[in-house]
Amino acid sequence: MLDTALKRWGELSKDERLLDPEADQPPAHRWEDGFPEGGLAVSRISRDLSPEGLEASPSNRWNRDTLWCSKEEIAAMLPEVAEVGTELQLQLLADRLAQLALVDDARGQTLPFAPAEVALARLVGRVVEVNGAKVTVELSGSTRARAAETWLLGDDNWTPRRRTPHGIECELLGTATLDLAARSFDSLDLVALGTRWGRTTFNGRGKDLGPSLVGFHLTLTTDRLAPTFASLYGVDWIPRPEVPTWRDSPAESRLERR
């Protein structure tokens, strides 16, 4: 196929190879168009960890993803005012972490967790410093998710052909600076240490069913890269494509499952 494509490309004239500079052909849909302006955009790195901990050489098995929360979602989690010792329950962020971000993808593509598969999702911020509307919080939390062989997220593009049990438990620690007046995060530095087990079809675990250690590091980002599971956020502020997927209409999208 590649050889045939290259041959046909070589047969084109220079004009045929170039897009008309006057052409206006924006894509009909891009997931990054849902970027939460004024909200929370987080870069997440996952990495396999050695049982020897920091004494071991860093693993080259790692992956990248992002996590989003809208401005309205963040505002709903933050108080109007706070003092030293105030505890903030960041439940929506904890749920999104447990379901969509703290997943076993260090070696490849994996699956998210359904809400019913999350047994624990907790993220608390304790205020340790107040400077006007700016407050510094120490973050702590835990997540625990376990998936059986039954798929619980409906018939969508993530539905696996086969399913194997898998799960992950994480402990989270970090710090963040919040602007209560602007209802926003000014900074975030969050780490999670997890124990994963089982596997999914494409996450590279093979017969490595674990348990083994994985780590995550989360920081703020201005990168507009959309989260892997943006289509499963189930929110109206992330636009969805108008063209149906093959699950909706194989004939119209010209895609068929093989």
Q: Is residue 175 part of a domain?
A: yes
Q: Are strands 166-179 and 134-147 parallel, antiparallel or unpaired?
A: antiparallel
Q: Is 16 part of a structural domain of the chain?
A: no
Give the span between the Cα atoms of 153 and 42, in whole angstroms. Answer: 24
Mean pLDDT of 15-22: 82
The answer to the question of residue 202 being in a domain is yes
What does pTM read for this prediction? 0.85
Strand partners of residue 87: 126
Summarize the confidence of residues 182-205 as an average pLDDT. Answer: 96
| Residue 3 forms part of a structural domain | no
Q: Poorest-confidence range of 12-21, 63-72, 116-125, 177-186?
A: 12-21
Contacts of 48 (CB under 8 A, 6+ apart): 59, 61, 62, 106, 107, 212, 213, 214
Does residue 8 lie in a domain region?
Answer: no
Mean pLDDT of 4-21: 89
Arithmetic mean of pLDDT, 147-175: 91
Q: Would you place residue 111 in the very low, low, confident or very high pLDDT band (cuts 50, 70, 90)?
A: very high
The predicted pLDDT at position 247 comes to: 52
Evaluate whether residue 193 is within a structural domain.
Answer: yes
Confidence of residue 15 (pLDDT cuts 50, 70, 90): confident
On whether residue 236 sits in a domain, the answer given is no
The predicted pLDDT at position 49 comes to 94
**Which residues are CB-neighbours of 188 under 8 A, at least 6 positions away?**
40, 42, 174, 175, 176, 218, 219, 220
Computed over every residue of the chain, the mean pLDDT equals 90
For 41-66, what is the mean pLDDT? 90
Number of domains in the chain: 1
The least confident of 116-120, 166-170, 238-242, 250-254 is 250-254
Q: Which pair of tokens denotes residue 119?
A: 């047994």
Q: Domain range holding 53?
A: 44-151+161-225
Is residue 4 one of the residues assigned to a domain? no
pLDDT band at 223 (very low <50, low <70, confident <90, very high): very high
pLDDT at 63 over 90: yes
Q: Is the pLDDT of residue 242 over 80?
A: no
